[in-house]
Structure 1
């Protein structure tokens, strides 16, 4: 069954604008509380004009453009404007460091960038060494510095027609992984991937054209893109984007925008619960909240009871075309299950030899699909990594879980070394690379520790370099902040004489994790902490 055919994001928006021209398509609330609303007709016009402006600059089919913006209308117009031309969006986390931005630009072979005034100093630093980035655009400000073009100029010209020759399996986005085993890889996401994502979420959550989907999650992550924007467009609903998240004011914004569905991460659930109860906590129109990353039984029950919202659990990953499983809206949710496979999916659980394990047995989660349609097209210019991840019609997720007798999926742990912090993926190896760039550090290992609010904490163990004085923790932190996004910087640093290793020299991180999770008074950290 293929619902998508050769359609693209341009087709989706044009179809909805033709059917519901005067219905609200996009609502954006900025950090000051100012709200702007766009109908489907207005959104389509803005997208076409933005596409025309990109084309006038010389951006064309297959060209990559980095977008580093907070949630705003310009992000959506640029995303769909690039898609209109067959070009490729490369979203950049607004917390990225200069080194991370430079890597992203170089690896994606970007020819253009779009950012906002607060990031211009960093972009100036990075772009000084990137002459190949010919198109430099700044949004959300008055005018533009030398070498940059105002987005207002780009988006105010003649509207463009959809580019010819753009198909559903063309790449529309490159989304960088958190780099679990090496440097981050660029996941190639196609138009078909996006359209399938919208279908899965809208069907799984039983959405309709009257729904207003609200999120404060950032558009540079695929969660907000697909669970909010694309799901809303799929049913002709309304996407409501908040630039900022505030636990104390979230439900007042939900009420103000008449939202019927919200998308959350566990950090938001916990910070809302940490606020004192208020009489109007459940006075809203939201009937369900879609979220990822498990919360405790107590947190789930308290949240649903206090806020009058049903939590719909789910599981997904960029390589898998985002959403893979969702708790059924109508039927048994079987908490703490992460739900049932989506209507177009099959799930297998296999052991290390690739053999299917029986119900209840833990193994790697495999997801069925077709590359470029229901699975990613691959990793950009990395055929070896692609072949190691997808073969014989199955995506090997690197995550462990199990199935019950009725086919419900349960998440067990992450085979890949990724730390989940407040909705962000942090690569342990990436943090280790940053630590090893310090001249006083000879070895480094990074692991996760439970964080009651932000899911997991980044904890580093470092070994001093021979002949060097023991590294100062504050200096290590400053060093990391120069190289990493804020949420990746270790919150705890242990200086140790050595790291526990196997007979072949591999760091035994399980011993480090065990020491963190099962502290024994007076017992040193493995290797001996200083």
Structure 2
């Protein structure tokens, strides 16, 4: 195991410095060292190995993550926005033994607000972890369910080391992270990387409104702000034209031209769940995402980006062979993003894969359509991306159905909020092409002049 030793060395190198804070609770490096070690000792008594963490950002989250590693467990970092239905699917699919969560729980350890529940599994794990796997995260994929991405400890450490060195992260930095730690944007830029540098990590409190973000920047003296494009878009809509930080970092989707013009100087970080951080620029040229970070190689074949990095995932735990099918003989991963290299910098021009990006979270349309198809009276469903009134991506569904079931409510009961279609149009039949597949041009024409009311006939 690599990560327990890496974290232990970091925590003991800067004992008196502030490590993590959310404004209400703050822990020094020494506090985090002592508490995570004690919690790790208590976790070992459970004798289980797969532990899910399903919670929002907090000092307790960081303590549980490090304690899990120190206990010799493999933490599975789960998006806090996922609801009970999708969480249950992950627990079953990945054979989780324990779950750290917010709210009422069976056992509260560590003196914080997060609870630990033991989970009952019927049999031995369906999918065995690789021997060197130390962390698992999730990404929506073509399987129609969250793909569980396995990472070796070496890959996680490389991602943090290369990010810190490639972006000049230092012990004087104070990172205000407003993206969930389960997401690659936060995981790679704000967790281990912070502690490698001896810097401090800060979280927001409550909803990330423009006033709350500006207040937290002032309270923390933040030098770095980490957030999805939707955060910066919301600041621009509130009239914010300047951020008092040395570096504002965005990822997960392209920044809109309006936001980039109104709030200049936002640094783009490009990476994907399966490969870790790939490029970065503190001074983005128009359309550019910067040069490769240390340990990264980029190649464009037939207009599609292929990458190889020192922070590559090992595979998908619950989708055998899928990750490997995207690797070529030299170990380059086919990203599905289209673009080219300009003077050594990456420029993206489009996306060949079908995922929809909602506020930095990837949504697989097949997953949403499968949920719709399970509703009473639904004969067919097509899910795709449209732009809302602000020009932001939203999910639209066209459904062939004879039912009066509220389809958005049906989705809310089974999907996290960001995956619920913003518009659902009910039609007698979905237009099809000569081979029986949905004719997307005709489908889009059906909804082009409709307002988007729930179950609206097109």
TM-score (norm 1): 0.77
Q: The residue matched to 1:248 in structure 2 has which SS?
A: helix
CA distance in 2, matches of 1:117, 1:18: 32
Closer, same or farther in 2 for the Cα pair 1:186/1:260, shift >3 Å?
A: same
Q: The residue matched to 1:341 in structure 2 has which SS?
A: coil
- Structure with greater Cα Rg: 1
- Residue 50 of structure 2 corresponds to 64
Q: Is the 8 A contact 1:108 1:174 kept in 2?
A: no
Q: The residue matched to 2:96 in structure 1 has which SS?
A: coil
- Residue 289 of structure 2 corresponds to 338
CA distance in 1, matches of 2:110, 2:400: 44
CA distance in 2, matches of 1:455, 1:203: 33
Q: Is the 8 A contact 2:26 2:59 kept in 1?
A: no
1:477 aligns with 2:378: no
Instruction: Map 1:91-110 to 2 at 5 A.
Output: 91-110=77-96
Deviations 1:345-404 (A, max 9, x none): 1111112xxxxxxxxxxx2211024xxx52101111533212212232111112222222
Q: Is the 8 A contact 1:72 1:243 kept in 2?
A: no
Deviations 1:239-290 (A, max 9, x none): 112243222221111111111011121111111112145xxx7573x11111
1:428 aligns with 2:365: yes
* Number of residues of Structure 1 aligned to a counterpart in Structure 2: 439
Q: Is the 8 A contact 1:213 1:259 kept in 2?
A: yes
Q: The residue matched to 1:188 in structure 2 has which SS?
A: strand
- Residue 81 of structure 1 corresponds to 67
Q: The residue matched to 1:346 in structure 2 has which SS?
A: strand
Instruction: Map 1:411-490 to 2 at 5 A.
Output: 411-451=348-388, 455-464=392-401, 469-472=402-405, 475-490=406-421
Q: Is the 8 A contact 1:193 1:375 kept in 2?
A: yes
Q: The residue matched to 1:445 in structure 2 has which SS?
A: strand
Q: The residue matched to 1:339 in structure 2 has which SS?
A: coil
Q: Is the 8 A contact 1:441 1:471 kept in 2?
A: no
CA distance in 1, matches of 2:93, 2:363: 19
CA distance in 2, matches of 1:243, 1:349: 41
- Residue 233 of structure 2 corresponds to 270
CA distance in 1, matches of 2:30, 2:168: 25
- Residue 253 of structure 1 corresponds to 216
Q: The residue matched to 1:15 in structure 2 has which SS?
A: helix
Q: Is the 8 A contact 1:117 1:139 kept in 2?
A: no
CA distance in 2, matches of 1:384, 1:83: 27
CA distance in 2, matches of 1:381, 1:430: 15
Instruction: Map 1:5-404 to 2 at 5 A.
Output: 8-29=2-23, 35-59=24-48, 63-117=49-103, 148=117, 170-244=132-206, 245-277=208-240, 282=242, 284=244, 286-292=245-251, 293-304=253-264, 310-320=265-275, 322-327=276-281, 329=282, 333-351=284-302, 363-369=303-309, 373-392=310-329, 393-404=331-342
- Residue 164 of structure 1 corresponds to none
1:471 to partner: Cα distance: 3.4
Q: The residue matched to 1:207 in structure 2 has which SS?
A: coil
The ranges of structure 1 where at least 4 consecutive aligned residues each deviate by more than 4 angstroms after the TM superposition are: 135-144, 513-516
Deviations 1:42-100 (A, max 9, x none): 111111111111101223xxx21111111112211111111123311112222322220
Closer, same or farther in 2 for the Cα pair 1:187/1:25, shift >3 Å?
A: same
CA distance in 2, matches of 1:98, 1:483: 8
Closer, same or farther in 2 for the Cα pair 1:511/1:401, shift >3 Å?
A: farther
Closer, same or farther in 2 for the Cα pair 1:80/1:340, shift >3 Å?
A: same
Closer, same or farther in 2 for the Cα pair 1:15/1:197, shift >3 Å?
A: same
1:179 to partner: Cα distance: 2.7
CA distance in 1, matches of 2:334, 2:220: 40
CA distance in 2, matches of 1:113, 1:346: 37
CA distance in 1, matches of 2:180, 2:440: 31
- Residue 125 of structure 2 corresponds to none
CA distance in 2, matches of 1:341, 1:276: 33
1:413 to partner: Cα distance: 2.3
TM-score (norm 2): 0.88
1:229 to partner: Cα distance: 1.8
Report the more deviating stretch, 178-187 or 40-49.
178-187
1:504 aligns with 2:435: yes
1:529 to partner: Cα distance: 5.5
Closer, same or farther in 2 for the Cα pair 1:22/1:484, shift >3 Å?
A: same
Unaligned runs of 5+ in 1: 1-6, 30-34, 121-134, 150-167, 305-309, 352-362, 523-527
Q: Is the 8 A contact 1:71 1:219 kept in 2?
A: yes
- Residue 124 of structure 1 corresponds to none
Closer, same or farther in 2 for the Cα pair 1:384/1:98, shift >3 Å?
A: same
